Homo-oligomer: A and B are copies of this chain.
Amino acid sequence: MIEPVEQITDKSLRRHFGYSLKRAYARVHTAITEELNQLGLKVISYSALSMIVENPGLKQSQLAEALMIERSNLVVIIDDLENKNLIYRAQLPSDRRAYALIPTDEGKALAVRAGDAVADAEAAVFGHFDPALIEQLRPAFDRIWSR
């Protein structure tokens, strides 16, 4: 005889730390996305803009590699930033195949505002974390990535 199940448990999944990580990241990602959305940016376009402001003149292929996305997918992101007058494609005299990506003053200003908005969003999510713990975690997580 098959009976309905009232109380659902997820003990077998909670065993995995990756699930805690996934869900925590989902919260951060949502918070950041909403903040950036108010500034007309997506997470990936904010990342691109920040990198261009920090590394003015870099090429699309360099940016794609740094952001670990495909060159082809970067095109529309750059198009969008350029249409919004946040950056522009400048001709590289040394290589006529490539573009040098340059931020406009407007782009530089927005990068600062967006960076602070992202930091605020993260602070709201991790507010109850000990700052010392965050600084302990950062290199530990970065090591996971860079190996």
Q: A residues engaging B (CB < 8 A)?
A: 1-5, 8-18, 20-29, 32, 47, 50-51, 53-59, 62-63, 65-66, 90-95, 100, 102, 111, 115, 118-119, 122, 125-126, 128-129, 133-134, 136-138, 140-145
Pair B4/A94 contact, Cβ less than 8 Å = yes
Which of A18, A62, A140 has the most CB atoms of chain B within a 10 A radius of its CB?
A: A18
Chain B residues with CB under 8 A of A47: 13
B2 with A137: CB separation less than 8 A: no
Which B residues are in CB contact (< 8 Å) with A129?
140
**Which residues of chain B are near A65, meaning CB under 8 Å?**
8
The 6 A-B pairs with the shortest beta carbon distances in the complex, nearest first, are A23-B145, A24-B141, A20-B141, A5-B58, A24-B144, A12-B50
Contacts known (A2-B90, A21-B25, A32-B18); A12 close to B141, Cβ less than 8 A: no
Given that A29-B18, A92-B4, A145-B23 are known contacts, is A10 also in contact with B137, CB under 8 Å in the complex? no
Contact of B95 with A21 in the complex, beta carbons under 8 Å: no
